[in-house]
Amino acid sequence: MKRAALYLRVSTVDQHPETQLHDLRQMAAQRGYEIVNEYTDRISGVKAKRPGLDAMMADGRRGRFDVVLVWACDRIARSTRHLLAVLDELSRLQVEFISFRESIDTAGPLGRAIVVIIGAIAELERSLIVERVRAGMRRARLEGRHIGRTPLQLDQDAIVRDRMLGRSLRQIAKMHRISTATAQRVLKQHAPTTLAKSA
């Protein structure tokens, strides 16, 4: 009986890995694998360093399982380079890699070739998304639209006047709904240094 490790990843804490876990446990049972450990990460696939993945690879080096089951290739990595690095190491460790969604099994050469192709497509898709976002930002700038947080509108004269009336930085910040650091910066720019000192 082959010993199996399940690897699951979701992008944020708002997502749940239960769907992936159900499918992988079912696949392991159908193939007669013994599940020896389940590794989960709640983190972006872009990040190469992940606690769950790192723990799984460390256990793989110790020979604690014979096959890794994942729900999809992009659960392991979003970049072809990282995916191939993981697959290469698993291959050297004589650990098989099986993807549920793509029905890929690296026990054979065809499975490994398909993994490379799918990884390249996933990376291309992500690059296209990034490029579309950048193009949208460039277009917005050309059209004169503001990108990012709306600039803070300050009544600087009123802030200086309130300080001259003897109000503390905390009082001024609360009245104008700004931070004390912002209030202090305005006072330094528009009033004598003595006015900017904390009360």
Q: Specify the DSSP class assigned to residue 194.
A: G
Of the candidates 99, 114, 131, which has an alpha carbon nearest to the alpha carbon of residue 24? 99
Quote the crossing angle between the two packed helices 180-190 and 169-176, to the nearest 10°: 100
Of the candidates 48, 49, 52, 47, which has an alpha carbon nearest to the alpha carbon of residue 20? 52
H or E, element range at 47: none
Of the candidates 154, 155, 157, 185, which has an alpha carbon nearest to the alpha carbon of residue 169? 185
Of the candidates 69, 58, 59, 65, which has an alpha carbon nearest to the alpha carbon of residue 29? 69
CB 106 within 8 A of CB 87: yes
Kindly report the backbone phi and psi dihedral angles of residue 34, in degrees, each rounded to the nearest multiple of 5, phi listed first: -95, 120
Where residue 32 falls (left for φ over 0; alpha for ψ -120 to 50; beta otherwise) is left
Judge whether 179 counts as a catalytic residue: no
Active-site residue among 11, 103, 127, 179?
Answer: 11
Beta bridge partners of 37: 5
Tell me the catalytic residues.
11
